[in-house]
Structure 1
Amino acid sequence: MEITFLQNIWFILVGVLLIGYAILDGFDLGVGILQFFTKKNEDRRVLINSIAPFWDGNEVWLLTGGGALFAAFPHVYATVFSGFYLAIMLLLVGLIFRAVCMEFRGQVESDAWREFWDKAFNFSSFLIALLLGVALGNIYTGIPLGEDMNYTGSFFTLLRPMPLLIGVTGLMMLVMQGALYLNIKTEGELQERAIKWSMASYKLFVVVLILTTAMVPVLTENNFQIFLSRWGAYPVILVILISLLVIPSFVKKGKYFGAFMASSVIIAAMFMVVALTIYPNLVVDSNDKFSMAINEISASEYTLKSMLIIALIGMPIVLAYTAYIYRVFKGKVKLDEHSY
């Protein structure tokens, strides 16, 4: 098994893990943001309990993606995690605080107490979604690297216009994902509101997506040309357009799971846009001098091969467990004495 083949396989697998995280944790981040727009405690509890069985398992995909990156492409792991240090710390604080909010909100019978933890839950969900989008934007746009593969910018370098635009696009995409998920899990008056949220977030996402797409050739002309030159570019664009077109129709017809799956396809396709643009690099140098190509910075052939064997054994187990959990907790949310 040639090392080039293994390097490409692990480029794909890291991407698959990140896509899995974005789709699965994406909807519960979206739900966390949308909870801000509810007033009744019962409605807020329904939203929290719609994601309660899944949120921690969803985050495993992010941990696994980080672990795979560390083992397969250690130089990339070192560069990204050191360069994005402050952003990653904010992300970790958000992830930790979000879990604390869910556990603490019901510990005291006080409206003020619940209100504080609910708002903290909303803000941490918003922060995580935005940070993830901006991080993806920086991977797409490129970051300044030195000859030693170290990040040479500052925290504010990460907040350039294009990464911020992509961050806002990602934020709206996850809000839409969360709203479409709530269409499946809620009923009655709350479901009617979730349907309105899904259509409103869909429209906002489309507007932001059009704006971001229009700015790509202006702010990152080279990336735009590279993407269009890839053989998979036009199929990916077609998939995004079809998925965008079917979501309103599915929602109108009450095919909420279909709408959710179409949104998930859009998320996966967005990652494919980034992958097609940056390949064969994992981290692009914005100065176009020291980009980190997979054939130059991967682990050894033995490491990649050993990890692939482990992945082939472990991934089916993870997928089976995930499918089982979602099957067990399918259906509408019903509150009881054990609910949050």
Structure 2
Amino acid sequence: MDLNILWFILVAVLFIGFFFLEGFDFGVGMLLPFLGKNDNERRVIINSIGPVWDGNEVWLITAGGALFAAFPNWYATLFSGFYLALFVILVGLIVRGVAFEFRSSDRNPAWRNLWDWMIFVGSFLSALLWGVAVTNLLQGVPIDANMQYVGGFWNLLSPYTLVGGLTTLLVFTLHGALFLTLKIEGDMVERARRVATRVGLVTIPVVLVLALLTYVNTDLFTKAGAAVVFVGSAVFLVLAWLLLKSGRNGWAFIANGLTIVCFTAAMFWGLFPRVMVSNLNPDWSLTIYNASSSPYTLKVMTVVALTMVPIVLLYQAWTYWVFRHRVTDKHLHY
């Protein structure tokens, strides 16, 4: 198999895994100040993702490492051109991580409330800006013949990319609310269901607007496979909302997860074989060939990936199995 194609698929899979897993982390973080009515409830909400949130972020670190090693020109152009946006995402992730650790270091209500809102801010920024970044890759950015990004920060903001950011923000919020219906007990479950129902009702039309703008602003729908998968994401979203309304929370979570999987897969499929589209000249776009490492490097990386990735996946699956039970007040340590 063409190793350039293989590594493009692996990078796509890593981002799909990151958005699926970290998506509900972001959603839980954004809902924390609103669903938790007191300190005990907020601690239960945090504990629902406490054992897994940092492991979920490893998918992003691995995706970044894969970009750096397999497609160094993609990595260089992406991280230089999207520097400020990615820096804000990084700040958001750092703020979340610090907040999770610092929150319980003092029992002062004002202290804990501050860090609860920092979890919200970090989750909000990350969820919003990832959508902006992904849709920019598909729409195209100013890249010259030397693979250099020649635009500024404001080139990354357009009606299409802002709707893309709003889409990921809403879908991740819905993902987090559905996750909580499976991980907590008591009155909070019904609260999470109500939030999920309302968020889902708003998310569906936003996704339809994104589909329309994707048709107008990109060439994704010229590729039949990508178009089918993109439409599939909208279908799964509607299905998730219907399942939620019928009380099947677990199936609703799976359906919404498939929305994220299909949406991300469609974006990468729409890009292929490009990795970054130049809106100055299509011939200046970065592809899996002109942005890649040497064949020898790809061969060595393939051997390492086939050896280590299954071990990492088994370990993370084991972690989720160990912490599969619902979280209640009984699990809190005072």
Q: Please tell me the TM-score bracket, short chain as reference.
A: over 0.9
CA distance in 2, matches of 1:292, 1:260: 36
CA displacement at 1:238 relative to structure 2 = 5.0
- Does the C-alpha gap of structure 1 residues 242 and 131 become closer, same or farther in structure 2, counting only changes over 3 Å? closer
Alignment of 1:136-147 (within 5 A): 136-147=134-145
1:246 maps to a residue whose letter is L
Query: Could you say which residue in structure 1 is the equivalent of 2:295?
Result: 301
More displaced stretch, 59-68 vs 259-268: 259-268
**RMSD across aligned positions (CA):** 1.7
1:248 aligns with 2:276: no
CA displacement at 1:275 relative to structure 2 = 1.4
SS at match of 1:282: strand
SS at match of 1:106: helix
> Is 1:141–1:284's contact at 8 Å kept on the other side of the alignment?
yes
Query: Could you say which residue in structure 1 is the equivalent of 2:232?
Result: 239
Alignment of 1:225-236 (within 5 A): 226-236=219-229
Query: Could you say which residue in structure 1 is the equivalent of 2:162?
Result: 164
CA distance in 2, matches of 1:51, 1:62: 17
CA displacement at 1:325 relative to structure 2 = 0.4
CA displacement at 1:214 relative to structure 2 = 2.3
CA displacement at 1:291 relative to structure 2 = 0.3
Query: Could you say which residue in structure 2 is the equivalent of 1:61?
Result: 59
Alignment of 1:284-295 (within 5 A): 284-289=277-282, 290-295=284-289
Aligned counterpart in structure 1 of residue 16 of structure 2, from 5, 19, 37: 19
Percent identity between the two aligned chains? 42
1:308 maps to a residue whose letter is T
SS at match of 1:296: coil
Alignment of 1:162-201 (within 5 A): 162-201=160-199
Aligned counterpart in structure 1 of residue 118 of structure 2, from 117, 120, 127: 120
Deviations 1:270-296 (A, max 9, x none): 112211221110011122341001122
- Does the C-alpha gap of structure 1 residues 227 and 337 become closer, same or farther in structure 2, counting only changes over 3 Å? closer
Deviations 1:251-282 (A, max 9, x none): 24443222111111111111122112211100
Query: Could you say which residue in structure 1 is the equivalent of 2:108?
Result: 110
Deviations 1:44-70 (A, max 9, x none): 111111000000000000000000011
Query: Could you say which residue in structure 2 is the equivalent of 1:91?
Result: 89
Query: Could you say which residue in structure 1 is the equivalent of 2:202?
Result: 204
Query: Could you say which residue in structure 1 is the equivalent of 2:45?
Result: 47
2:23 maps to a residue whose letter is G
1:269 aligns with 2:262: yes
CA displacement at 1:242 relative to structure 2 = 3.6
2:107 maps to a residue whose letter is E
CA displacement at 1:176 relative to structure 2 = 0.8
> Is 1:49–1:339's contact at 8 Å kept on the other side of the alignment?
no
1:160 maps to a residue whose letter is S
CA displacement at 1:240 relative to structure 2 = 2.2
CA displacement at 1:234 relative to structure 2 = 4.7
SS at match of 1:203: helix
Query: Could you say which residue in structure 2 is the equivalent of 1:74?
Result: 72
CA displacement at 1:245 relative to structure 2 = 3.3
CA displacement at 1:29 relative to structure 2 = 0.5
1:315 aligns with 2:309: yes
CA displacement at 1:129 relative to structure 2 = 0.8
Aligned counterpart in structure 2 of residue 214 of structure 1, from 212, 215, 221: 212
Q: For structure 1, list consecutive stretches of 5 or more residues without a partner in the other structure.
A: none
Q: For structure 2, list consecutive stretches of 5 or more residues without a partner in the other structure.
A: none
- Does the C-alpha gap of structure 1 residues 15 and 339 become closer, same or farther in structure 2, counting only changes over 3 Å? farther
1:327 aligns with 2:327: no
CA distance in 1, matches of 2:5, 2:262: 18
Which portions of structure 1, spanning 4 or more consecutive aligned residues, are displaced by more than 6 angstroms? none
> Is 1:282–1:294's contact at 8 Å kept on the other side of the alignment?
yes
More displaced stretch, 227-236 vs 11-20: 227-236
CA distance in 1, matches of 2:204, 2:245: 17
1:214 maps to a residue whose letter is L
Q: Please report the TM-score for the alignment, with normalisation by the length of structure 1.
A: 0.93
CA distance in 2, matches of 1:244, 1:160: 24
CA distance in 2, matches of 1:217, 1:258: 30
More displaced stretch, 97-106 vs 189-198: 97-106
1:304 maps to a residue whose letter is L
CA distance in 2, matches of 1:339, 1:136: 40
CA distance in 1, matches of 2:234, 2:126: 27
CA distance in 1, matches of 2:183, 2:262: 25
More displaced stretch, 12-21 vs 147-156: 147-156
1:192 maps to a residue whose letter is E
More displaced stretch, 64-73 vs 145-154: 145-154
CA distance in 2, matches of 1:234, 1:96: 35
2:137 maps to a residue whose letter is I
Q: How many residues align?
A: 332
